[in-house]
A = this chain, B = another copy of it.
Amino acid sequence: MKQQDIFGVDSLHEECGIFGVYDNGDNLDVSRLTYYGLYALQHRGQESCGIAVNNRDENGKIQIVQYKDMGLLQEVFNELVLKELQGFAAVGHVRYATAGASRRENAQPLVSRYQKGSFALAHNGNLVNVAQIRKELEEQGAIFQTTNDSEIIAHLMAKERIRTNSTAEAVMKIMTEITGAYSMIIMTPQRMVVARDPQGFRPLCIGKIKNSWVFASETCALDSVNAQYVRDMEPGEVLVVDKEGLHSYRDMCGQKTSLCVFEYIYFARPDSVIDGESVHRARLNAGKFLAKESPVEADIVIGVPDSGLDAALGYSYESGIPYGVGFIKNRYIGRTFIQPTQAEREAALRIKLNAMRESIAGKRVIMVDDSIVRGTTCRRIVTLLREAGAKEVHVRISSPPFLNPCYFGTDIDNRDKLIACQLSVDEICERIGADSLAYLSIHAMQNLAPNCRLGCCDACFTGNYPVYVPEEDNR
């Protein structure tokens, strides 16, 4: 029943992926497309998933029908369910969340009925001023059935839609009230409204299948349904799709942008292109910078699967040291994997990850990973390499040290759990048992995505929060 992550708390999680399709006369199977699109976004959330469709009932009335539950797509959906989700528009969501009692309630999309009808909302991101908004709503008697920011947005939506002339207008009004990260799709019976926060924290792109429109957190989801990539949503942009076509509202555009740099470093799938820059290339770049900044003599460069592989390849390209396969990751370990009884984390890791003795024995090894959070997993992986006969282990991290919490949808630990807040790089090196350790420099991190059209948020490394965060009081 519970997700069993054998890496325990020592890993990062992205909060969500969203996908929407509006069929413009192409007779698409919208729920199936959404299902496929979400499959390509499953790495962005494995706790729950859901799809809502706009369907015309026997009386010709359009109704929103939804299905969502805890679990992976393959656990929640089946042929029968997909077939009952017929319609001309669909919106889907995959979600990761830290544990909580009423988790089932938090699955998205969130379908709400209100004065003007109903809507389904799929949201990726994290707002920073919910406390104040929630307080105001509560004073007016609002009730909350979830702990999602999405429910806050739904409340605002109902309130603003009553006072305004269109969903788009209401959404733009809401965007003046909420601060933080949000890429979202709102599906009403008649149209689909898509919005991205003015900073552009989370990615959101637009695609096309024939005459129909597709929206997805990442371009890899467009590829999976063979949609043509059109462009990325602009930060602050509101798009409305209906029978009359696509309308873009940019009243909120033009602010200083701050796309989450960790999308490039860890979150996004490497085959996605975000705001102009290939994720894969950004990771190769990170590896190349690392090689330049922190060279070391060695026989082989390896990456920690899966997220360290690209940077390792980049390091190899730049240094000329051969790239090798350092680990084999067991592809069959799922959420119901049974843990070792004596709670030996080393044992668990050993089952998930096996060092490739052939590549490593007797070698000086450069091991590239994307980040170090608490240090325990890293220490175990270094141990695996030592046991496999590595003569030297040089750890290279393709991002700077984590020093600050994230308030925009990344599940980064509190400062008191972050090893880099407690120890110097040398101390960390000793703690993880490496022969040397180097992080990517801030400067290099800021240059790993040269084609990115947006500015980047790197607050987790630098502490420069691009918007006011009450908890940090960074006014």
Contacts and interface: CB of A to CB of B under 8 A. Distances in A.
A interface majority secondary structure:
mixed
B324 A29 contact: no
Interface stretch (A328-336, A364-372, A454-462): A328-336
Contact of A226 (B142, B313, B350): B350
Contacts of A78: 336, 338
Interface string A92-130: 000000000110110000111111000000000000000
A191 to B, nearest CB: 18
Contacts of A39: 330, 332-333, 337, 351
Interface string A425-445: 000000000000000000000
Contact of A338 (B32, B69, B142): B32
Interface stretch (A18-26, A152-160, A397-405, A415-423): A152-160
A309 interface: yes
A1 interface: yes
A263 to B, nearest CB: 15
Given A223-B354, A357-B278, A141 B143 contact: no
A434 to B, nearest CB: 22
Interface residues of A, number: 92
A472 interface: no
A145 interface: yes
A74 B142 contact: no
Contacts of A65: 101-102
Contacts of A267: none
Given A65-B101, A325-B313, A141 B162 contact: yes
Contacts of A157: 143
A80 interface: yes
Contacts of A262: none
B313 A324 contact: yes
Contact of A77 (B155, B331, B338): B338
Interface string A324-356: 110010111111111011000001001100111
Contacts of A69: 104
Nearest to A280: B358
A66 interface: yes
Interface stretch (A7-15, A176-184, A268-276): A268-276
Contact of A145 (B32, B145, B340): B145
A224 B350 contact: yes
A251 interface: no
Contact of A141 (B32, B79, B158, B310): B158
A334 B39 CA distance: 11
Contact of A112 (B80, B101, B145, B162): B145
Interface of A: 1, 29, 32, 35-36, 39-40, 42-43, 46, 63-66, 68-69, 72-75, 77-82, 101-102, 104-105, 110-115, 138-145, 147, 154-155, 157-159, 162, 220, 223-224, 226, 269-271, 273, 278, 280-281, 306, 309-310, 313, 317, 322-325, 328, 330-338, 340-341, 347, 350-351, 354-359
10 contacts: A29-B341, A39-B330, A42-B330, A72-B332, A111-B145, A114-B142, A141-B155, A223-B355, A226-B350, A313-B324
